[in-house]
Structure 1
Amino acid sequence: MAVLNLPARFVLFRSNFKDVHWVTKRVHCRYYNSDATLDHVSRGLERYKDLQTYFKRHLKATYSRFRNVADHSAVCGRRHVYFMEGNSIFRMENRKSESEPEQVLDLGCVTAGAETQEWSVQRIRLSPQEKHLAATLKTHNAETIRCVVAKLGQRSVLTLDNVFTFEWATDEVLFYTTQENVKCQTVYRLDLTQNGHTIHPVYEESEPDVFVEVSLSRDRNTLSITCSSRNSSEVLLVDVSDPRLEPTLVQARQPELLYHVEHWRRNLIILANTGPGQEYQVIKAPLSEPSMVSWSPVFTPSLGTVLKDMDVVGDHCVLVAMTTTEFELELIIVPLFQPREAYTLQLPSWACVIESERPGLADQRGTLEFLLSSPVRPQVSYRLYPEEGLLSSGTGDGPTAFRKNQENYITARLKACSQDGTTVPVTLFYGMKLMKNTPLLVHVYGAYGQDVNMQFCPKKRFLLEQGWALAYCHIRGGGERGLAWHRQARIEGKHRGVEDLQACLSHLFSSGVYSPSRTVLTACSAGAVPVGALCNRRPDMMRAVVLQSPFLDVLGTMEDPELPLTLEDREEWGDPVGNPEHRLTISSYCPVCNITPQRYPSMLLSAYTDDDRTPLAGVLKYAEKLKEAAQIHFNTAATSDPEPNIVVSIQPGANHIGSDDWESMLEEEALQLAFLYKEMDLEPPRTSWRRKRK
């Protein structure tokens, strides 16, 4: 959700309607003692080496097929379009498509002697009259984050370190937050003057579990300072017409109150969880009296629909909603002058992720441009005209290579019944020709109220084309079915996520097409908890497991208050130190705590030495205990089953989201494919060679 942007044990991408980019700061990893330890746990990777090289070639070809997918990273100013090319930012005049690009920023000038090819532009912001440009840069392993502020048309450049979010209030005033040890708690104001610049502290958060960020309203009239914890939020507003005034508080934080603010005609349009069942509804309040006493409901969704995000476009409130019965995305458009005339627009049934494109300074305010995608379908651009109620596709229906074959793939919405009778959604992708024992790759997350990652991934598309089926289990603990879906699997309710995952697998197996012997489970970060717990309870339900940045030692981590995220994460997992019941609950499902000698599936664990969200110590501890238990079972049980392969791939110099380096990313994805095919005893895809005519 746009309301909560906390640094959870959450990996890869966020599927938010707002533009949010996650970064992490390098923290020295103190959890292992020598390279010998890493070499020991990484033994066994060599058996996948040949296949890894083979799949790397196939992945390069797959990525190449989608290289023509539209690049949406360009930024439109009043007079120019800005874009990244190589190690520089360039601009071209809007009305002169054939004009020569002008270089406005050379990364080599601001990287302080670092290898320029290791840096990339993360985000760009233009000042209102296009006098200044600010951009954040990061290295491929994201160990350093740097913000550069450049005066356009001149060569003067200012650098700021550890910047997380940043927005221009005026052409001379930039607000930004800084991040230290995955915490973001301070807001600064940069004032640019003819004689140089000054920096002033604007806000400093005192609570250790509160995360702070800045954002600009779509109409660019107010700047929000949003302070969020796991269960509450608080917003302060800055009037951009006089940004040096003290920020105004909207509503003081209260336990379990979450809200997000947009500006509209001297009013605030607020997305707040004050609706039935503490779900989100739309509220309005005058800017002059923004507190809860002045809040009046504008729109409350009907039963069976939950609001996921909000934007204000012209005189309309545009809501992203999810139907909890059919489990499909839709847009609800609320005319703010006549909210009773709200209407709904259905999105394509295949759509799994919606992302808005941040409007440029010159863009029309009366339309909303956004992107739709799925794990196997690249981004497709759409434009909404809320005044007319029209929705149009801007680029047809995706790349030509995809359009030609898209009818061969099916997106199915399934419903599994969990142990307590709760219906759990499953999204399934498969080819037209289903065969018995089709290999199945099952994805899961289920924590922090975050949806499982369903953005387009060429590797997933490759597997689909090779005859795999892909399942995404939307278990409780995630946010797919609203805030209550998350609350049901927090702290004492964590077992529900494990039960949901088991029910999803049972439902998939009941079709007769899929079977445990052809099933692989995969998860990232906190998604490893329900997967690891199910491996302990029902290892017979899967053949292999692939985990990336896995959070596996829940009890050990939550007992250590010195770790970066322990204190705020107790809202999610509980406090085993101060609450004996929480300790018993965590101990009942914690993957590390419940390992026992039995037939475990083969497992690939990918970890990173600079990961400060899921400590490497927990991954190594889990791997050693699992290997020992599997070995005991193999040596003592009268079974003809082969011993499972449990291997750890540790990448040095990368953090929780892995490396951004192209070759390193391909190596990791190729290893995962090699592991899947080797452990499933599958023949790798054969390359069809065509003889060229001379």
Structure 2
Amino acid sequence: MTTETAATPPVAKRVPAERTHHGETVVDEYAWLAAKDDPDTIAYLKAENAFTEAATAHLAGLRGTLFEETKRRTKETDLSVPTRKGDHWYYTRTVEGQQYGIQCRRTVRDGETEPPSTQDGAPLDGEEVLLDGNALAEGHDFFALGAFDVSPDGRWLAYSTDFAGDERFTLRVKDLDTGEVLADEVPGTFYGSAWSADGSTLFYLTVDEAWRPYRVWRHTVGSPAGDDVVVYEETDERFWVGVELTRSEKFIVIDAHSKVTSEVRVIPASDPTGEPTIIAPRRQGVEYSVEHHGNRFLILHNDGAEDFELAYTPADAPGAWATLIPHTPGTRLEGVDAFVNHLVVSLRKDGLTGLRVLPGPESDSRATQGDSGSTGTYDIDFPEPIYSVGLDSNPEYATSTVRIHYASFVTPDSIYDYDLVTRSMVLRKQKPVLGDFDPAAYEQHRDWALADDGTRVPISLVCRAGTPKDGTAPAVIYGYGSYEASMDPWFSIPRLSLLDRGVIFAVAHIRGGGELGRRWYEEGKLLAKKNTFTDFVACARHLVKAGWTATDRLVARGGSAGGLLMGAVANLAPDAFAGVVAQVPFVDALNSILDPSLPLTVTEWEEWGNPLDDPEVYAYMKSYTPYENVSAVDYPAILAVSSLNDTRVLYHEPAKWVARLRATAPSGGYLLKTEMGAGHGGPSGRYDAWKEEAFVAAWILDRLGRA
């Protein structure tokens, strides 16, 4: 790397490295940047950071203003709505000036059926602090919790911490009766844990060298970690493993799943040393999940049901599946939650999320039609034309009231308690937005773009009320389009700073996501992946054609797989955008997917294809991967944001991409910002996260002429 002043773009040295696949030899001159421990790599990243800081120095004041606007609108000292589990109310508390949440509980008092009020944000009388994230994070630049799991009897807390951002956690057990953290400490664990019914035994996960959770362990509280026993090991590198305790607290569920195939085992929670029982052997292409309910297991599956159906099988002798809700094309069943006398099914229809309530087993014969017209079965209605709804924390099995989370682009996150019998809903808390916030000052819309192949692609938009539709408004278009993940409307306090400056915010619900069901996902993966990119460009062009904005007033934004999208559309239609923000971007996808030693690679082959073995997949991926397709064209300004300790998308992908952009098309403005002590999600503390968002928003406003 050359030594440059901060005002001069860094120039990455070129060290040609050859690779040959399917008879083709390719030279990668920036492959050396993958050497994280090489001093030249760190020096280059720091030089890029210095250049980015210098190039955006004129925005320092705006960044400060945006940060203060978010801070001023946020109730910094606050409590979540307490959730009942057994004899306690559990909640999270935040304190002004502190980066992290404080996990607390309070004993349920005699006759207390309603959650305690949290409106003043003060600690509840009789509060017990379980974990203080601020105390745990002291002395560390990064902090994240992995597991936070209280045993059924309320005695033990299993929790895990990450101080690097690489999502490799150290697991500990705390005695909540005495406050003592036990000596049984386990490093290298993954998300997820499960307690036995009596709280004597804890199940947890560890990862292999490719960061794949593959082993389920059994730990006896109070014993050395060296005595722990492997309960299950998954040898197929395509499969990840999860573990959890059912809401009924009757079974430990071990879930092994690839991108397209599932296999589930259960262990009675009352017999933690028992052998796992398999629910159904894996069959390639069949996905299923399991929930316990009374004397049966509920099975949500796609066997002959593209958008999934709900079935059940006896809990004492799992076997054939009997249908409970048959498959309905266009209604994607996404999950089922069981309570003693009711089931709540999470679904997606017409691009919107929804909740369907079914009565208990004694009424199943009357509720098999799967629509709101069935006797005893109904869908919960919501008023706004665009919204997002789902179940919140509901740990109690014996209840007829469920906690619901609801939000839209204009409605702040709202927590409701819904009575499944009376069908009444009580608002427990809406996320406070301080100052003069008025939802009526904003409006949201649903529009549709026409893709190259004639497919209609939905777009969700939010803007200030009365924003002119004459092409004069600036806009941001956001996209993801992978893994069947749906970008449902969400409320954002930092986004208000953009909207109040006249910016329209749009989300392109492109193929590869799950907004319109399983087929929508299938049409944007593997050898149909390019639909994701052309859909996004079609949405961008539609916003201009419909008068929402103009090309020189439109910035594209996406992260992770959405960062791959950003790099692809920059190559595909560089004239369509005034700027591109790519956060932790998967822009060197082909090289990463060719390397099975990297985290996630083998598990990803069912999402992207296997270019290592299949020449057609190799050629197809090579034709769209951003890094491979940089050319000497006029690119829009690009801001790439990454993290050195990211496990999911390695830092060197955007570093290599920016280096090649700068060498190949030097007329463009390219900035790379690497967090040197964070992971995939960026900075961990809330104030640091606000500052990061202010940095990105200021750059966007500068590109849109609103700085």
Tell me whether 1:578 sits opposite 2:602 in the alignment.
Answer: no
Tell me whether 1:395 sits opposite 2:428 in the alignment.
Answer: yes
Q: Secondary structure at the match of 2:616?
A: helix
Q: How does 1:320-335 map to 2 (within 5 A)?
A: 320-324=346-350, 327-335=351-359
Shift of 1:185: 0.8
Tell me whether 1:212 sits opposite 2:241 in the alignment.
Answer: yes
Is the CA contact 2:147–2:193 (under 8 Å) kept in the aligned structure 1? Answer: no
Distance 1:110 1:407 in 2: 41
Change over 3 Å in CA distance of 1:32–1:430 after alignment to 2: farther
Q: Secondary structure at the match of 1:597?
A: coil
Is the CA contact 2:416–2:429 (under 8 Å) kept in the aligned structure 1? Answer: no
- Matched residue, 1:80: 88
Shift of 1:231: 0.9
Q: Secondary structure at the match of 1:34?
A: helix
Aligned residue pairs total 637
Distance 2:230 2:614 in 1: 38
After superposition, give the CA deviation of every residue in 1:595-633 in whole Å (9 maximum; x if it has no partner). Answer: 2111110010001111222222221221122122322xx
Distance 1:454 1:471 in 2: 10
- Matched residue, 2:36: 29
- Matched residue, 1:230: 259
Is the CA contact 1:105–1:150 (under 8 Å) kept in the aligned structure 2? Answer: no
Residue 194 of structure 2 aligns with an amino acid whose one-letter code is: E
Q: Secondary structure at the match of 1:528?
A: helix
- Matched residue, 2:689: 665
What runs of 5+ residues in structure 1 fail to find an aligned partner? 1-26, 632-642, 685-694
Residue 381 of structure 1 aligns with an amino acid whose one-letter code is: I
Is the CA contact 2:63–2:698 (under 8 Å) kept in the aligned structure 1? Answer: yes
Distance 1:432 1:426 in 2: 18
Is the CA contact 2:247–2:395 (under 8 Å) kept in the aligned structure 1? Answer: no
Shift of 1:384: 2.5
Change over 3 Å in CA distance of 1:196–1:652 after alignment to 2: closer
Q: Which of the numbers 306, 310, 316 marks the counterpart of 1:288? A: 316
Change over 3 Å in CA distance of 1:381–1:364 after alignment to 2: farther
Is the CA contact 1:192–1:198 (under 8 Å) kept in the aligned structure 2? Answer: no
Shift of 1:35: 3.3
Q: Secondary structure at the match of 1:178?
A: strand
Q: Secondary structure at the match of 2:413?
A: strand
Is the CA contact 1:372–1:379 (under 8 Å) kept in the aligned structure 2? Answer: yes
Q: Secondary structure at the match of 1:513?
A: coil
- Matched residue, 1:130: 154
Shift of 1:30: 5.1
Is the CA contact 2:142–2:678 (under 8 Å) kept in the aligned structure 1? Answer: no
Is the CA contact 2:80–2:91 (under 8 Å) kept in the aligned structure 1? Answer: no
Shift of 1:498: 1.2
Change over 3 Å in CA distance of 1:680–1:103 after alignment to 2: closer
Is the CA contact 1:173–1:189 (under 8 Å) kept in the aligned structure 2? Answer: yes
TM-score, normalising length: structure 1: 0.85
Tell me whether 1:504 sits opposite 2:539 in the alignment.
Answer: yes
Q: Secondary structure at the match of 1:317?
A: strand
Shift of 1:68: 6.6
- Matched residue, 1:179: 207
Distance 1:73 1:179 in 2: 34
Distance 1:575 1:208 in 2: 13
Distance 2:674 2:339 in 1: 46
Q: How does 1:189-204 map to 2 (within 5 A)?
A: 189-192=218-221, 199-204=228-233
Distance 1:517 1:331 in 2: 41
Tell me whether 1:415 sits opposite 2:448 in the alignment.
Answer: yes
Distance 2:218 2:550 in 1: 58
- Matched residue, 1:656: 680
Shift of 1:469: 0.9
Shift of 1:236: 0.5
Q: Which range moved further: 34-43 or 663-672?
A: 34-43
- Matched residue, 1:644: 668
Distance 2:500 2:133 in 1: 39
Q: Secondary structure at the match of 2:428?
A: coil
Q: Which of the numbers 355, 361, 368 marks the counterpart of 2:402? A: 368
Change over 3 Å in CA distance of 1:620–1:203 after alignment to 2: same
Shift of 1:401: 4.5
Shift of 1:379: 1.2
Distance 1:539 1:428 in 2: 23
Distance 2:238 2:437 in 1: 49
Q: Which of the numbers 439, 443, 457 marks the counterpart of 1:406? A: 439
Residue 314 of structure 1 aligns with an amino acid whose one-letter code is: V
Distance 1:651 1:602 in 2: 20
Change over 3 Å in CA distance of 1:117–1:76 after alignment to 2: farther
Q: Which of the numbers 333, 339, 342 marks the counterpart of 1:313? A: 339
Shift of 1:372: 1.3
Tell me whether 1:95 sits opposite 2:119 in the alignment.
Answer: no
Change over 3 Å in CA distance of 1:423–1:196 after alignment to 2: closer
After superposition, give the CA deviation of every residue in 1:477-521 in whole Å (9 maximum; x if it has no partner). Answer: 112222221111221101111121122122222212311111000
Q: How does 1:47-66 map to 2 (within 5 A)?
A: 47-66=55-74
Tell me whether 1:479 sits opposite 2:514 in the alignment.
Answer: yes
Tell me whether 1:430 sits opposite 2:495 in the alignment.
Answer: no
Tell me whether 1:625 sits opposite 2:660 in the alignment.
Answer: yes
After superposition, give the CA deviation of every residue in 1:112-167 in whole Å (9 maximum; x if it has no partner). Answer: xx727964655532222222222233337456523221222224423332332112
Q: What is the CA RMSD across the aligned residues, in angstroms?
A: 2.9
Greater length-normalized contact order (CA 8 Å, ≥ 6 residues apart): 1
Report the identity percentage.
25
After superposition, give the CA deviation of every residue in 1:353-380 in whole Å (9 maximum; x if it has no partner). Answer: 334332345x852221021123554210
Q: Secondary structure at the match of 1:62?
A: helix
Is the CA contact 2:307–2:327 (under 8 Å) kept in the aligned structure 1? Answer: no
Shift of 1:663: 4.2
Shift of 1:454: 4.6
Q: Which of the numbers 132, 135, 147 marks the counterpart of 2:171? A: 147
Shift of 1:545: 0.4
Residue 370 of structure 1 aligns with an amino acid whose one-letter code is: I
Q: Secondary structure at the match of 1:486?
A: helix
Q: Secondary structure at the match of 1:578?
A: coil
Residue 250 of structure 1 aligns with an amino acid whose one-letter code is: I
Residue 92 of structure 1 aligns with an amino acid whose one-letter code is: R
Change over 3 Å in CA distance of 1:110–1:65 after alignment to 2: closer
Shift of 1:470: 0.8
After superposition, give the CA deviation of every residue in 1:75-114 in whole Å (9 maximum; x if it has no partner). Answer: 5443333455678654432228764434555779988xx7
- Matched residue, 1:255: 284
Shift of 1:308: 2.4
Change over 3 Å in CA distance of 1:671–1:366 after alignment to 2: same
- Matched residue, 1:67: 75
Is the CA contact 2:445–2:461 (under 8 Å) kept in the aligned structure 1? Answer: yes
Shift of 1:266: 1.2
Q: Which of the numbers 403, 406, 415 marks the counterpart of 1:381? A: 415
